[in-house]
Structure 1
Amino acid sequence: MLWRNARRPIAVAAIVFFWLLASGWLAKPLVDLAQPRTYRTPYDPATTPASAFGPRTAIIMLGGGTNIGPDGTLVPKHDVYARIALTAALQARCLAAGGVCKVIVSGGNPQHHAASEADTYAPWLVRAGIAKRDLVLENRSLTTWENARNAAPIVHAQRADTLFVVTSAYHMPRAMLDFHRFRMDPVPAVSGVRRVRTGLWPRLANLRDAETALHELIGIAQFYVYRMLGWF
């Protein structure tokens, strides 16, 4: 009897909740929380002075998933194209400064597609102007934590004295936590920022943005819980 009486208010509350998400009024604060003000400006390599690059620089580009294209081939997900463009521009700026500049592409195959993220992105990075000899593929990581853990020995083996991490704004806070945990202090290079559009009508993009933000916020909470338990 209690459940039958609660059906209508529960249904109304669910409709209002999803409308707030889809129209952006709830999605926007979630996305803003996931990408703090510090990371809401895309990184501009053109403003990076030559002195910002050391004699040996490593640029780590983090994976962001793959999609199956219309022809059945794997292609980067939407956000990854901006990461590829920024990585290539940053490496070009680094080479112009006269140092050794290696690009580490970190991303395994969490979606269980035909190839890993790193292997899928590699041809796109080459087309963007990065020489194959400067690419290092780390194709086993399934999480951001593993990105940092698996990249650390590569960075140390290269004796890199300057480190950049390239990823999207919503992903950067969690990435920085994990890289700091492995005693790396990279320069955060934000490739793109999510912008939520608010209004009266629901938008599928707002639901996707809210899902992404929740994933990142839960991941950050997980980091602190695991560290408290001694697992990280």
Structure 2
Amino acid sequence: MKFLLDLLFRVLQLFTEPYFLLFLAVVIIALLKRENKRKKLRIGIGISVVLIIIFIGNGFLGKLISGYLQNSYIKTSEINKTAAQKPVIVVLGGGVVDISNTEKLHTMSYSRIVTAYQLYHEFQEKNIPCKIIISGKGRGHTSEAELFSENFKKMGVPDSDIIKEDKSMNTYQNAKFSSPIVKKMAPTNVYLVTSGFHMKRSVALFQIFGLKPIPLASDFIDTEITVFPNSYKCCIYFCYA
């Protein structure tokens, strides 16, 4: 079952790639032309692709999707932290950038670090033992887990409270590889820290692997609807996807 889910996730991930979708549209049009299919059908597909790009680029779909993905996680202050006696905080990696052969965390990663640390610090002040699990390998030479760990240590989190899961390459694997670690620790509460747009599918995937994490969104993204499309809003849409 889990193998099929892994395969399905990889297939769906392919259909969120903009270059693949454009390539697929070109191939379909070319095949229809070769088979002498109706010209109107080819034109219809072409217009559909253009309209999709326009609606993505002007922020309409981004606005719609951001509300669906994020609205449930805006009121993070209402999370019950007093009942936790053996909490675990799972932080998902936010990407690594390579600039001049120097690997640094992606911008959104820092909001996740700050949010996780704030929660960790609250537990420390109440003398409640807490562990932080950092999940993510990323595509660089240095894993996201290692880079996150370095930042947490600079903020005063001891190495004994940090657990690095450095094999996962995507959200599905975040849940797959982190869940066994969490289950062995048998915590009373599991807090999941990631970006608002990323939270809904993250929670769903962790539930598949038998966990019921408490969502704690670290940041939110919004788009404005404009007359003319731009590349930034296209990037935001595919980031949601």
Q: With the length of structure 2 as denominator, give the TM-score of the two structures.
A: 0.76
> How many angstroms does 1:213 deviate by?
2.2
1:5-24 equivalences under 5 Å are 10-24=45-59
Correspondence 1:121 to 2:138: no
1:50–1:185 Cα change, 3 Å: closer
The structure whose residues are more often helix, as a share, is 2
Correspondence 1:89 to 2:118: yes
Correspondence 1:197 to 2:227: no
Correspondence 1:43 to 2:76: yes
Check whether the contact 1:61–1:104 (CA below 8 A) recurs between aligned residues.
Answer: yes
- Number of equivalenced pairs: 206
Q: Which residue of 1 aligns with 2:67?
A: 32
| 3-state SS of 1:199 partner | coil
Unmatched 5+ stretches in structure 1? 215-232
Q: C-alpha offsets along residues 97-126 of structure 1, whole Å, 9 cap, x if unaligned?
A: 2111110001123x2x21211112211222
Q: Which residue of 2 aligns with 1:75?
A: 104
> How many angstroms does 1:27 deviate by?
2.4
Mean CA deviation greater in 201-210 or 98-107: 201-210
Paired amino acid for 1:53: A
1:172-191 equivalences under 5 Å are 172-191=199-218
Cα-Cα RMSD: 2.3
Q: C-alpha offsets along residues 41-60 of structure 1, whole Å, 9 cap, x if unaligned?
A: 1634xx66651431x21100
Check whether the contact 1:85–1:128 (CA below 8 A) recurs between aligned residues.
Answer: no
> How many angstroms does 1:65 deviate by?
1.4
Alpha-carbon distance in structure 2 between the residues aligned to 1:209 and 1:162:
32
Q: C-alpha offsets along residues 126-177 of structure 1, whole Å, 9 cap, x if unaligned?
A: 2233222211111011232322232223223333222101011121111111
Q: Which residue of 2 aligns with 1:167?
A: 194
Correspondence 1:104 to 2:133: yes
Alpha-carbon distance in structure 2 between the residues aligned to 1:179 and 1:10:
38
Q: Which residue of 1 aligns with 2:94?
A: 64
| 3-state SS of 2:59 partner | coil
Check whether the contact 2:62–2:222 (CA below 8 A) recurs between aligned residues.
Answer: no
Check whether the contact 1:61–1:166 (CA below 8 A) recurs between aligned residues.
Answer: yes
Identity %: 23
Alpha-carbon distance in structure 2 between the residues aligned to 1:31 and 1:14:
22
| 3-state SS of 1:136 partner | strand
Alpha-carbon distance in structure 1 between the residues aligned to 2:218 and 2:225:
23
> How many angstroms does 1:7 deviate by?
6.0
